């Protein structure tokens, strides 16, 4: 059985890391766009707050959460309820949004700690234990923290907390296939990831034909769809494992759009820079030609 207090302590640490990224952020920077299309820094924190509050409802008011599920089923656009929740909260002033997120995650921690062993909590997917919900919150907090770090150009040091995210990524293999309308392979995979401290984290039988190896950080970036596979040092052995790395996702819901390869982004940026340089050079040539003509005219006159 998972140690719920240990998981909640890890969630505290992950939340604190994300909090530090925005705690002293000027108000205007909360409107900065992030790698998630259409989402600002405020949307990222608003989404974490919204999900914490939904989780709190599931942990403390089963009837209330079931009513929320009915309301969702009857809504005109149920697939956009996550975006709608983030949008509704993102309009709050930054200091209010941050304070409410802090209160919400503290309330959720207390609620999950109080869930009796063996009780499963309702959710938008299958019901889950308090430990599973805490693990999911670690994963999502880390993923959206990565969006914030990328936006603010902060390089975060990877920690052993990545193991929770990697474990969720492995456990959701079959879900990723189903979300993409595919049949999951019958055979288990062997996954070997190198932790930040050099330790090896493993899942699945050693003799499995389908294998995935690489840095734990890269695997977590992949399964949360924060980096494109082309930018990561992950290796797949076997066609099924190779296919999985193209569709893996540790989060619930429909397949995400993920991120474009950074190499492509860098190429596009370089191309734009070249065009700007060429335009600048052309302007300088035009200016030089004008000066030459002016000089010739002056001599002629």
- H or E element: which one contains 128? strand 128-129
With contact defined as beta carbons under 8 Å apart, do 112 and 4 qualify? yes
CA distance 85 to 71: 13
- CA geometry: angle 61, 67, 68, nearest 5 deg: 90
CATH architecture of 4-156: Up-down Bundle (1.20)
Query: Residue 32 class from Cβ within 10 Å (0-12 exposed, 13-18 middle, 19+ buried)?
Result: middle
**In the structure, what pLDDT confidence band is assigned to residue 226 with cuts at 50, 70 and 90?**
very high
Supply the pLDDT for residue 104: 98
Instruction: Taking residues 187-210, report their average pLDDT.
Output: 98
The band of 263, judged by pLDDT with boundaries at 50, 70 and 90, is low
Q: Side by side, which strands form the sheet with 200-203? A: 200-203, 190-194, 211-215, 235-237
Confidence of residue 280 (pLDDT cuts 50, 70, 90): very low
pLDDT at residue 125, rounded to an integer:
85
pLDDT at 36 over 70: yes
DSSP for residue 183:
P
Q: Which structure tokens are listed for 123?
A: 């959710």
* Residue ranges per structural domain of the chain: 4-156, 166-247
- For residue 284, pLDDT beyond 80: no
- Band of residue 287 on the pLDDT scale cut at 50, 70, 90: very low
What value does the mean pLDDT take over residues 37-59?
98
Mean pLDDT of the chain: 89
Tell me, rounded to whole angstroms, the distance of Cα 279 from its chain centroid: 38
**Confidence band, pLDDT 50/70/90 cuts, at residue 15:** very high
pLDDT at 204 over 50: yes
């Amino acid at each position: 059985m998972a140690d719920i207090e240990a998981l909640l302590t890890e969630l505290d640490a992950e939340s604190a890391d994300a909090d530090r990224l925005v705690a002293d952020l000027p108000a205007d920077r909360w409107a900065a766009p992030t790698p998630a299309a259409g989402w600002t820094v405020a949307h990222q924190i608003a989404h974490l707050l919204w999900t914490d509050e939904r989780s709190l409802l599931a942990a403390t008011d089963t009837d209330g959460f079931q009513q929320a599920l009915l309301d969702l089923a009857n809504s005109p656009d149920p697939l956009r309820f996550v975006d709608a929740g983030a949008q509704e909260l993102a309009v709050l002033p930054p200091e209010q949004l941050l304070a409410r997120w802090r209160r919400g995650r503290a309330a959720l921690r207390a609620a999950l700690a109080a869930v009796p062993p063996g009780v499963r909590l309702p959710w938008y997917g299958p019901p889950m234990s308090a430990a599973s919900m805490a693990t999911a919150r670690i994963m999502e907090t880390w993923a959206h923290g990565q969006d914030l770090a990328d936006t603010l150009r902060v390089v975060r040091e990877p920690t052993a907390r990545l193991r929770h995210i990697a474990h969720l990524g492995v456990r959701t293999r079959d879900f990723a296939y189903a979300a993409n309308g595919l049949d999951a392979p019958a055979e288990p995979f062997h996954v070997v990831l190198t932790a930040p401290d050099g330790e090896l984290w493993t899942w699945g039988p050693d003799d499995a034909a389908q294998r995935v190896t690489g840095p734990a950080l890269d695997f977590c970036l992949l399964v949360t769809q924060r980096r494109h596979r082309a930018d990561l040092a992950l290796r797949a052995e076997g066609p099924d494992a190779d296919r999985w790395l193209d569709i893996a996702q540790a989060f619930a819901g429909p397949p995400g759009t993920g991120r474009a390869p950074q190499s492509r982004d860098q190429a596009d940026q370089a191309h734009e820079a070249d065009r700007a340089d060429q335009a600048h050079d052309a302007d300088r040539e035009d200016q030089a030609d004008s000066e030459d003509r002016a000089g010739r005219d002056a001599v002629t006159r």
